[in-house]
Amino acid sequence: MTKIFITRDIPDAGLKMLKKHKSIKLSIYQKDKKIPRKELLTHVKGVDIILSILTDKIDAQVMDAAGPQLKMIANYAVGFNNIDIEAAKKRGIIVTNAPGPEITESVAEHAVAFIFGLAHRILETDKFNRAGKYTGWGPKLLLGTDVTGKTLGIIGTGNIGNALARRLHDGFDIKILYNDIKRSPNLEKKYGAKFRTKDQLLKESDFVSLHVPLLPGTVHLIGARELKMMKKTAFLINTSRGPVVDEAALTKALTNGEIAGAGLDVYENEPKINKTLLKLQNTILTPHTASATVETRQAMSRTAATNILAFLSNKQIPNKI
Q: Is 201 in the site for ligand GLV (CB under 6 A)?
A: no
Instruction: Reply yes or no on whether 270 is catalytic.
Output: yes
User: Where does this chain touch ligand GLV (CB under 6 A) — which range of 77-85, 166-174, 187-195, 269-277?
Assistant: 77-85
User: Residue 291 or residue 307: which is nearer to ligand GLV going by CB?
Assistant: 291
204 is catalytic: no
**Residue 78 interacting with ligand GLV (CB under 6 A):** yes
Nearest CA to 253 among 235, 271, 273? Answer: 235
How many residues touch ligand GLV under the rule CB under 6 A: the total is: 5
Backbone angles phi, psi at 303, to 5 degrees: -65, -45
Residue 133 CA to residue 143 CA, distance in Å, equals: 15
Q: What is the DSSP string of 141-165?
A: TT-----TT-EEEEE--SHHHHHHH
**Interaction of residue 74 with ligand GLV, rule CB under 6 A:** no
Which residue among 8, 211, 241, 297 is the active-site one? 241
Q: Is 79 in the site for ligand GLV (CB under 6 A)?
A: yes
- Catalytic residue from among 21, 91, 166, 288: 288
Using CB under 6 A as the binding rule, whether residue 158 contacts ligand GLV is answered as no
Q: What are residue 40's phi and psi, to 5 degrees? A: -60, -45
Task: Decide: is 168 part of the binding site for ligand GLV (CB under 6 A).
Answer: no
Tell me if 11 contacts ligand GLV by CB under 6 A: no
Report the distance separating Cα 77 and Cα 288, nearest Å: 12
Question: Catalytic annotation on 183?
Answer: no
Angle between helices 294-312 and 101-119 (to 10 degrees): 150
- CA–CA gap between residue 277 and residue 247 (Å, rounded): 9
Interface positions with ligand GLV (CB under 6 A): 54, 77-79, 291
Tell me which residues are annotated as active site: 241, 270, 288
